[in-house]
Structure 1
Amino acid sequence: MITLRNLTLRRGTKIVLDDATVTLQPGERIGLVGANGAGKSSLFALLAGRLQADRGDAEMPPTWRLSEVAQHLPETEQGATDFVLDGDLTLLKAREQLAAAEAAHDGLKMAEAHAALQDAGSFDARPRAQSLLLGLGFKVDQLDAPVNSFSGGWRMRLQLARTLINPAELMLLDEPTNHLDLDALVWLEGWLSRYPGTLLVISHDREFLDAITRVTLHLEHAKLTRWGGNYTTFETLRAQAQVLQQASFEKQQDRIKHLQHFIDRFKAKASKAKQAQSRVKALERMEKLAPVLAAADFAFEFREPANLPNPMLALSDLACGYGDTAIVRKIDRTVLAGQRIGILGANGQGKSTVVKTIARTMPPLSGSITEGKGLTIGYFAQQELDVLRPEEGPLAHMVRLAKEVSPQAREQELRDFLGQFRFTGDMVSQEVGSLSGGEKARLVLAMLVWQRPNLLLLDEPTNHLDLQTREALSIALNEFEGTVMLVSHDRALLREVCDEFWLVADGALKPFDGDLDDYQRWLNERAREEAKALRAAAAPAPSADDAPAASQREDRKAAAQARAKLADQTRPLRKEIEAIDKKLVQLGQEREGLEAELATGALDPGAIANCGRRLKVIADETDALELRWLELSEQIEAATAAAGL
């Protein structure tokens, strides 16, 4: 287990953990929540050994392995699968052990290294890595593509896969969903729900936390508190505790007031002096309860637009893309005043490209965008630095913006405005490049509010926002009188804000008839639809005489193509099943040999104990392999059914 005992941790002059005491049991799935800057990442650094406590103890089993996502973008020509495999530190160590033994021509060490490789699962390592990549949204033809050929978001997915493949008793995940679309996010939820080790995750995605966590650690004002249950349960229990605490505080204040009134009234009277003195002592002994000092929740609102053109936009035969390459074509849509539109689609389908084109940061490749008179666009870029200058401070950004939007604004007015977004004192002059992701996001929000837009284009606005700020954004968007077009993987925000959805897929943008649950079902049905389309693909029309034979040939051809595609998709799964079968045979033979040794009765007590321990390991490993075999078989059966074979 992990135990923090009376632990204090400082970062510079700031105390981020004050006398923290908490115990985490093996196998627990814990959500670590708190405002941005509260110290959550510092706690991760402490558990990972990068920071040392200033006081108190932090204990963890010394044999535990740890896995966490590296935050830097990898720069390498290495293939994607090999890059992920290098994240399996146990396997990597066994391979290095074998290479050293072979270089030294040491037969005994080579045998030990081969045993270590077998224990590390080298027999199915590559299929396991490719299964992770496919789950995170990579295509079959990308499995061996160079890491440098992927964009930043996809490289972070590679880092996540590299973390998931590492067999570890403790996994630390810091905002793992930031670069995932909805289908990959749901896959990750399923994978983590089966992870057998201890999981500690920082996330500001409410639905993600509810799906995978069963314990919540809340970090606030340097105090770490453990709560049972997922995030929604934590919110409920904490609200109830705050109500009780406030009621107890108010009741105690009434009691103190009554005692003090008695003391003040009778302390000078001889006949009541004894009673007054006893009340003084009672007042001194009373353990003072603190009032509920609820942190000032962040709140803001969008200013009322100067006008609301209707329609806002008319998109006619619009094509969006880069250079001469169109990613989304033939868009014919009208955007009306007051609409709340969520834009769905997998990464790489063109959601951000459409938004950038409407925001005027990319020119349309063809077609037209007709803007309503008086249209004012507020654009939140997925990468905040697209609209921020790293070397300037928040105040400099606002001064420059004010000159464009409202030249009469005074500096003090801008300082006061920034204070509403938690930029106070010297922070208004701090270089944006040194701000946290959440602070940059709040600055972009401040700049949007100042512009008084009537159309908001928001591309992943929640990536670096804490839960309180996300809630404030949701409330502000619901109160906003203009039009909202939102791209986000935050399902809670999409559910709360959007009343209709557009889907970007297969080079087209179309209305999506349904909600987010329907969208998830649509994703599950997509493979089946593609298989049906493949079988329906027609060759040149046959003559009337040979129509039946030609039809049969085309049916056989379509079926063969579907089988080939299915074989390609399931190859990593089948390879892993084949490797598991071989491993199960080896384990069965080893178990029979150990049982035969025990049956002889000739072993000493130490050898019997060793046999017993090894049999327990074999039984556990067999159970895990059989469970994995069933999971893989179910995945292959599902893929086969989807292909209609």
Structure 2
Amino acid sequence: MITLRNVTLRRGAKVVLDGVDLTLHAGDKVGLVGRNGTGKSSLLALLRGELHEDAGEVALPRHWRVAHVAQEIPDSEQPATDFVLAGDTRLAEAQAQLAQAEAGGDGEAIALAHTALADAGAHDARARAQSLLLGLGFASAELERPVNHFSGGWRMRMQLARALMCPADLLLLDEPTNHLDLDALVWLEGWLQRFEGTLLVISHDREFLDAVTRITLHLEHGRLQRYGGHYSHFEAQRAQHMQQQQAAWARQQERVARLQRFVERFRAKATKARQAQSRLKALARMERVAPVLADSAVAFEFADPGDMPNPMLTLHDVTVGYRDAANQACPIVEGIRGSVLPGQRIGILGANGQGKSTLVKTLAGMLPPLVGRLHVGRGLRIGYFAQHELDVLRADETPLQHLQRLARDTEAAGALLSGQSTREQDLRTFLGSLQFEGDAALQPVGTMSGGERARLALALLIWQRPHLLLLDEPTNHLDLATREALALALTGFEGTVLLVSHDRALLRSVCDTFWLVGGGRLQPFDGDLDDYQRYLLEQARQRREALASSAAASANPATPSPTPQQRRREQAQRRQHLANQLRPYQREHAALEARLDALSAEQDALLAQLGAASDAATRAEAGRRLKAVQAELAEVEQRWLTVAEAIEALQRQAAADAAALP
């Protein structure tokens, strides 16, 4: 159990945690949310022991192993599999124990060390490490490549795999999805759903949080508020709480005003002076309800793009890729034919490394096609958001300088639109509308956070009033509130959108058509995101089976591998058996969820009734019913958890059985 008692944590002059109390139980799956800069990462550092509380007490069980993703990018000649394998601290301890016993020639200690190795799963540790790498998107041929042969993003995936390799009681993940594509993200969700330890994760991905968490902690103004349920449930609860708080504040303000009017009217009257003094004391004793001060997200708004060329882009047998240092062509996606039309909203799917970003750069004119012809419609205005903002921003320039340069270039090209101005005050006003006010408009980009740079890149896009938006991972550094503001703006945008993103909530709200990049080809994907997730899971299953078959053939070449027909038959039998076992639990689970919803709604109604009731009898009756509802709610919640655990146990057992079969 994790316990925080009256904890205060400061970072410089800023109070990150202010008298926080919190209890988390073993096995809890917790999402930590809040605006950027509120101190979420500092809380994780406190639990890791890297920071120490200024007041209060933080208590974790002494025997717990804590795993987290190291933020430094490794630079090592060590093979990828060995690097991940080293994350299994329990196995490393057993191996060190064996080496020490063998050096001392102690037979009993050697036997105990071998037992420890068996308990640590030494027999299949290498296969588990490789399974993690494959799940996170590495190819089979890359499993033994040295770490320093990979790019920074792929090395961060290795750090994530290394953290998952650790047999942890507490797993702390800070934005684990930042370096993942949708393929790896879906796999990670499944892995975390099966994880049996305690999980505390920071993420700005709504669907990821909904999939892996069951408790939400909201950090705001140094206070930590606990909500039961995943992120979407938290959002609904918080909205209701804010409405109730605002109503309570309004009622209290009305009462305060009434008391003050009485005091001002009668304090000088001898016959009423005592009553006036009594009301003054009541005002002084009153515990004030704070008004609701909701964090305001930036409001993005794309102007009407006006007349658009049709088609916008036409591709004639285009091959996209890059040229190496010797100017040799390195094609990635070949034979692209087709057009981009006004009003289309296209999501580009595919694993990292398959060419999504290269395709978008080519469409944006940042890279020339290696082969073929790309025709751009006359007068087309393209807005391009690069995955790495500094590809389009200059670190030494300020937001105002960026916008001034863009305005000058647009004016020089004779392309200024109606309402656009190059006057400094107008440019400052525009930047201020996107939260670059005052000194923020004069801050060098190189000193900005990732979220601020992303916001600036979007601001420059909006000013251009584009016909076509080419967006490559625009939400990587944006918090949830800003992501939702962007999704709302893109939904209302009247031009064309081509979007690369691993944020499924954004893809669902913006895109109605999907392209799939893979195997050197670009083709339409016939389905929605749920279909794509099923496609990814099937691809991952096939890779695991191929790896398992290869390992089995290497270990026992004399044993014939089952035929594909036999394997499909066994899989179908296992699925049917699991479905038969799960069915009664799933029915009860659905009934319990419905009952929980009904009880929660009744509880909220009774709380509102208690707040509004004016007579004692009504309050007493509502209080009695509320107590009964809360008791039943606790009982139903406990049964819901028991049934959910039974379902998870059956699914884990089925997955383990499937992994053990050839």
When normalised by structure 2's length, the TM-score is: 0.79
TM-aligned CA distance change 1:135 to 1:278, over 3 Å: same
CA distance in 2: counterparts of 1:452 and 1:513, whole angstroms: 31
TM-aligned CA distance change 1:93 to 1:402, over 3 Å: farther
TM-aligned CA distance change 1:93 to 1:569, over 3 Å: closer
Task: Give the structure 2 partner of residue 473 of structure 1.
Answer: 486
The yes-or-no answer on 1:515 pairing with 2:520 is no
CA distance in 1: counterparts of 2:78 and 2:300, whole angstroms: 46
Map Cα deviations across residues 3-29 of structure 1 (whole Å, 9 max, x no partner).
122222122222222222211111101
TM-aligned CA distance change 1:484 to 1:279, over 3 Å: same
Map Cα deviations across residues 224-255 of structure 1 (whole Å, 9 max, x no partner).
11111100010011000011111111111111
- Secondary structure in 1 matching 2:358: helix
What displacement does 1:112 show? 4.2
CA distance in 1: counterparts of 2:552 and 2:205, whole angstroms: 30
User: Could you list the runs of 5+ residues in structure 1 that have no partner in the other structure?
Assistant: 532-564, 578-623, 641-645
Task: Give the structure 1 partner of residue 278 of structure 2.
Answer: 278
18-27 or 493-502, which deviates more: 18-27
Task: Give the structure 2 partner of residue 371 of structure 1.
Answer: 376
| Identical pairs, percent | 62
What pairs with 1:207-606 in structure 2 (closer than 5 Å)?
207-305=207-305, 307-323=307-323, 324-406=329-411, 409-524=422-537, 568-571=547-550
Task: Give the structure 1 partner of residue 163 of structure 2.
Answer: 163
Task: Give the structure 2 partner of residue 616 of structure 1.
Answer: none
Over the aligned positions, Cα root-mean-square deviation in angstroms equals: 2.7
CA distance in 2: counterparts of 1:303 and 1:31, whole angstroms: 36
- Secondary structure in 2 matching 1:369: strand
CA distance in 1: counterparts of 2:652 and 2:128, whole angstroms: 11
Task: Give the structure 2 partner of residue 177 of structure 1.
Answer: 177
What displacement does 1:104 show? 4.7
CA distance in 2: counterparts of 1:429 and 1:229, whole angstroms: 42
CA distance in 2: counterparts of 1:486 and 1:47, whole angstroms: 37
TM-aligned CA distance change 1:65 to 1:375, over 3 Å: same
CA distance in 2: counterparts of 1:44 and 1:574, whole angstroms: 44
CA distance in 2: counterparts of 1:497 and 1:286, whole angstroms: 49
CA distance in 2: counterparts of 1:21 and 1:414, whole angstroms: 46
TM-aligned CA distance change 1:80 to 1:527, over 3 Å: closer
Counterpart amino acid of 1:447?
L
Number of equivalent positions: 558
CA distance in 1: counterparts of 2:102 and 2:404, whole angstroms: 67
Q: Which has the larger radius of gyration?
A: 1
1:130–1:572 Cα contact (<8 Å) kept: no
TM-aligned CA distance change 1:218 to 1:128, over 3 Å: same
Counterpart amino acid of 2:213?
T
1:213–1:230 Cα contact (<8 Å) kept: yes
- Secondary structure in 2 matching 1:17: strand
CA distance in 2: counterparts of 1:527 and 1:227, whole angstroms: 34
What displacement does 1:310 show? 1.8
1:321–1:353 Cα contact (<8 Å) kept: yes
Map Cα deviations across residues 336-372 of structure 1 (whole Å, 9 max, x no partner).
1121111111222211111111111111011111111
What displacement does 1:217 show? 0.7
1:127–1:576 Cα contact (<8 Å) kept: no
TM-aligned CA distance change 1:526 to 1:47, over 3 Å: closer
- Secondary structure in 2 matching 1:271: coil
What displacement does 1:189 show? 1.0
TM-aligned CA distance change 1:275 to 1:163, over 3 Å: same
TM-aligned CA distance change 1:132 to 1:403, over 3 Å: same
What displacement does 1:636 show? 6.7
What pairs with 1:121-160 in structure 2 (closer than 5 Å)?
121-160=121-160
Map Cα deviations across residues 140-199 of structure 1 (whole Å, 9 max, x no partner).
222222223333332222111111010111111111112222232122111111111110
1:128–1:572 Cα contact (<8 Å) kept: no
- Secondary structure in 2 matching 1:37: coil
What displacement does 1:461 show? 0.9
What displacement does 1:93 show? 2.6
CA distance in 2: counterparts of 1:312 and 1:237, whole angstroms: 44
CA distance in 2: counterparts of 1:249 and 1:487, whole angstroms: 44
CA distance in 2: counterparts of 1:575 and 1:69, whole angstroms: 33
Counterpart amino acid of 2:84?
V
